[in-house]
Amino acid sequence: MVIDDYLDYLRVERSLADNSVRSYRRDLKRFNAYLLTRGLAVDSATSLDIEAYLGELRTGTQDTAPLSVTSTARALAAIRGLYRFLVDEAIVPADPTANLRPPALPKKLPKALSTDQVERLLAAPSSLTPLGLRDRALLEFLYATGARISEAVGLAVDDVNLDAGDMEVRLIGKGDKERVVPVGSYAARALGAYLVRGRPALAALGRGTPALFLGARGRPLSRQSAWAVLQDAVRTAFPNGDVHVSPHVLRHSFATHLLEGGADIRVVQELLGHASVATTQIYTRVTADHLREVYLTSHPRALNT
């Protein structure tokens, strides 16, 4: 069977993982079953047949639930790969999926915390221990600069300038692109307290490193440990478990709050280290939703009453 030949090709020639091959098998067996019920075969199906199949996946049938856009797009990817293989093997003369386009995936809006939630989160770490001072400085820094977690843990002490009137940090982003980002007063105070009362105690436990953020043994803080710092703070700030925060959520919150405060989108682009303003524009959808909500709750003639 041509599907089995293709799966063998994926396993042997492409060295795909077993889980990936199983996913391809599941999608292609379902496609083949659809064709058989209509008296068709894989090597005789047309683009219209495949399009009809994808439509059925999205709408569902009496016996099957509709698939999500993501699952339908994955099914088309499996079918497209199969027909490219069949063309290469001269089993079919042309690829019937060549002009088919996957369904448009919905754009997921970034999650942003409210300013009250941010304040609760940043206040969660203790300021009485070296590790607590580090944790507060790290969280304040992430929110104040919009830095990626990898950028934060890669910092050296000399990358941060806390001189009054000139507080800034030099970040190295994707593609080794360097940018300089201002550091706000709250983050600067937290970093200063950590550098004076926290980092020396941690550094004494290690062998000496220029890294800004240190772990419990005096070594540079890892991304995994930084993630754990954030999750500990989340559990403390939101004990009900109703708020979920990742390092990227702090980055999203940084950008969203800047735009809501009137910052120019190109300034936010530079601060985030985005190569294109198009990447930053997704945040304008968030602020548009915010503006709409404010309008509907504030304008006397916005809603029927």
From first CA to last CA, the distance across the chain in angstroms is: 65
Q: What is the rounded CA–CA span in Å between residue 190 and residue 193?
A: 5
Catalytic residue among 134, 199, 257, 274: 274
Question: Catalytic annotation on 283?
Answer: yes
Catalytic residue among 148, 199, 252, 257: 148
Question: Catalytic annotation on 174?
Answer: yes
Catalytic residue among 29, 174, 285, 292: 174
* Contact indicator for 169, 181 with CB cutoff of 8 Å: yes
Instruction: Give the C-alpha distances (Å, rounded to integers) separating 216 from 58, 132, 197.
Output: 51, 11, 14
Question: Catalytic annotation on 148?
Answer: yes
DSSP string, the chain: -HHHHHHHHHHHTS---HHHHHHHHHHHHHHHHHHHHTT--GGG--HHHHHHHHHHHHH--SSSPPPPHHHHHHHHHHHHHHHHHHHHTTSSSS-TTTT--PPPPPPPPPP---HHHHHHHHT-S-SSSHHHHHHHHHHHHHHHH---HHHHHT-BGGGEE--TT--EEEEE-GGG-EEEEE--HHHHHHHHHIIIIIHHHHHTTSS---BSSB-TTSSBPPHHHHHHHHHHHHHHH-TTS-----HHHHHHHHHHHHHHTT--HHHHHHHHT-SSHHHHTHHHHHHHHHHHHHHHHH-TTSS--
Question: Catalytic annotation on 299?
Answer: no
Catalytic residue among 134, 136, 199, 251: 251
- Active-site amino acid positions: 148, 174, 248, 251, 274, 283
